Amino acid sequence: EVQLVESGGGLVQPGGSLRLSCAASEFIVSSNYMSWARQAPGKGLEWVSVIYTSGSAYYADSVKGRFTISRDNSKNTLYLQMNSLRAEDTAVYYCARTGSGYGERYMDVWGKGTTVTVSS
Amino acid sequence: DIQLTQSPSFLSASVGDRVTITCRASQGISSFLGWYQQKPGKAPKLLIYAASTVQSGVPSRFSGSGSGTEFTLTISSLQPEDFATYYCQQFNSYPLTFGGGTKVEIK
């Protein structure tokens, strides 16, 4: 079964760092565009970042310079390194397989999410 | 950034009703729009992409239409499992953005 499983969430103090992981099953991460999105408690969805098969990456303005998306091909795993965390980064973080055609960045396979709480 | 405005933000409907949700973009996005369904505590599920293409496995009662700046998601006959929150998302340019969501509740 095609599946994504996130891990690495938790409680972190403001200014701290966290690395989220997203392990894929039954498809190859490096052969697909992959994204992270998040959802703050009681709020809507927010796109965070995408990485292309080429390794090029794009970020939401709210995380640019603080978050880094990457992947480990040998582990078939996607990552999100989050630095300088703020209270407003508190959310459930989802990874998702993403379309690669022009104008087709729809997310067709989602993980169940991992919760990040930034608080002192 | 492209803003997406969904309306209504909340609607109350009965099983069997025809439901239409609108998503308006702040600038033209061709047909680069998708729709997702999200149930409480669950990940979003892709329903529609390219404005009107139904994702594999999605029931035929779901349909999408529109191009440019105005789009609609229609559920032809609401079923009990359709009560959820629906989001549109544009893929025209970065940053990718979502609409604010439409919560569909049981009347």
- Closest residue by Cα to residue A62 from A33, A85, A34: A85
| Tens of pLDDT, residues A81-95 | 999 999 999 999 999
- Any alpha helices (H) in chain A, and if so which ranges? none
- Minimal C-alpha gap between A7 and chain B (Å): 15
User: How far apart (Å, rounded) are the C-alpha atoms in residues A64 and B43?
Assistant: 24
Asked whether residue A104 carries a pLDDT value surpassing 90, the answer given is: no
User: How far apart (Å, rounded) are the C-alpha atoms in residues A105 and B2?
Assistant: 15
User: How far apart (Å, rounded) are the C-alpha atoms in residues B13 and B88?
Assistant: 20
Average pLDDT over residues A56-66: 97
**Residue B40 preceded by cis peptide, ω within 30:** no
Buried b (16+ CB within 10 A) or exposed e, A7-18: ebbeebeeeeeb
Nearest to B95 among A47, A99, A111 (CB): A47
Beta strand pairing call for B45-49 and B53-54: antiparallel
Nearest to A111 among B43, B87, B99 (CB): B43
Q: Is A115 on the interface with B (CB under 8 A)?
A: no
User: How far apart (Å, rounded) are the C-alpha atoms in residues B49 and B53?
Assistant: 5
Asked whether residue A31 carries a pLDDT value surpassing 90, the answer given is: yes
pLDDT tier for residue A103 given thresholds of 50, 70 and 90: confident
3-state secondary structure of A88: helix
Asked whether residue A101 carries a pLDDT value surpassing 90, the answer given is: no
- Which of the residues A107, A108, A109, A112 would you substitute to probe the B interface, choosing the one with the greatest number of B C-beta atoms within 10 Å? A107
In this prediction, the residues of chain B whose per-residue pLDDT falls under 50 are none
Average pLDDT over residues A61-85: 98
pLDDT for position A74: 96
pLDDT for position B49: 96
* Four-residue CA torsion sign, A64, B36, A73, B93: negative
Of chain B, the percentage scoring pLDDT greater than 90 comes to 98
Edge-first strand listing for the sheet containing A77-82: A3-7, A18-25, A77-82, A67-72
| Tens of pLDDT, residues B39-56 | 999 999 999 999 999 999
* Minimum Cα–Cα distance from B86: chain A residue: A44
B4 interaction partners in chain A (CB closer than 8 Å): none
Which residues lie below 8 Å from residue A38, measured CB to CB, with a gap of 6+? A45, A46, A48, A89, A91, A92, A93, A94, A116
Asked whether residue A34 carries a pLDDT value surpassing 90, the answer given is: yes
Run of H or E residues at B48? strand B45-49
pLDDT for position A102: 85
